[in-house]
Amino acid sequence: MRTGNIKHITIAIVLMTLACGSISAQEPVTINTATNSDTAKAIVERFLKALNYEALPADSMLYIESSIFDFHDRSDTLVMKRWFLPPHSHRVELWSHGKLQLGYLTNGLDNARLYDTIKHVWQKMTLADYYDRGAAYDFHTPLYKWRTNGTEVQYLGEKEIQGVKVYEVHVETPGMYKREYLFERENGLLFFIIEHPEIYSGEVDPYHRNVDWRAFTDYIHIGQSLLPYTESYRRDGRVTVINHRYTFLKKEKKKFE
């Protein structure tokens, strides 16, 4: 399901080559510049308003099938399958060579499970453990819950990248992570995130494989919502590209039990 394709900047920072795509011809929205924080919040709110997650129909499931390509290892193409039933039911499965390698699900209320790859069964887990681990596979953007997770945002100013105006916003969740988000000034869409090593109790976790950057190079209309079609990221010098396919399916609560 691919309609209303919106292409924008494809970027790679520092050691990557900058390349521009076409820009959606939307009227720029005036940003509140009362304070750095107010400006950053306005930029983030504008982006979330464009995504319009609230318009996803509650009477059906959103199904997302994502093809994951690692350019350093093309022998194995991973496929991630996700189901979302508003408001909180969520299921994710990661498949490789036809085998289920990872799985999480929750109804968001009283049930959460993970897939045991040894016993090949779904086992109960606490909701706290699910939100600590499974929530990383939520299809929403990292900024979706910024109001409730203690995230601080600060506007770093306007920049120009190969003739395209962008806003830069610093995002920090105390004790967890620091990131810089780049948004196109003209259409307000997020296209690049610079990620810093995650910090726990004041120290960098030596076991965390940090993602250097994450890019969003296409957005598509899914009903009345706008969701990313292509993502890419670099970790440990390796570039991975993810293509998403979206569709709406008949409501099925058993998926989350």
Gap between the Cα atoms of 194 and 214, Å rounded: 7
The residues pairing with 109 across neighbouring beta strands, listed in sequence order, are: none
SS3 202: coil
Gap between the Cα atoms of 42 and 65, Å rounded: 32
pTM above 0.75, yes or no: yes
pLDDT in tens, 57-90: 989 999 999 999 987 766 667 999 999 999 899 9
Query: What pLDDT score does 148 carry?
Result: 81
Query: What pLDDT score does 61 carry?
Result: 96
Cβ distance 46 to 190 under 8 Å?
no
Q: Give average pLDDT by consecutive 10-residue segment, the chain, 257 residues.
A: 47 36 39 70 95 92 94 77 94 93 94 95 94 88 82 90 89 81 94 77 55 88 93 87 95 93
Query: What pLDDT score does 28 carry?
Result: 41
Residue ranges covered by each domain of the chain: 3-24+39-256
Query: What pLDDT score does 81 carry?
Result: 97
CATH 2.50.20.10 for the 3-24+39-256 domain, yes or no: yes
- Residue 23 corresponds to which tokens in the numbers above? 């820009």
Cβ distance 63 to 176 under 8 Å?
no
Query: What pLDDT score does 208 carry?
Result: 55
Peptide bond into 87 cis (omega under 30): yes
SS3 131: helix
Instruction: Burial-class residue 42 by CB neighbours within 10 Å (0-12, 13-18, 19+).
Output: buried
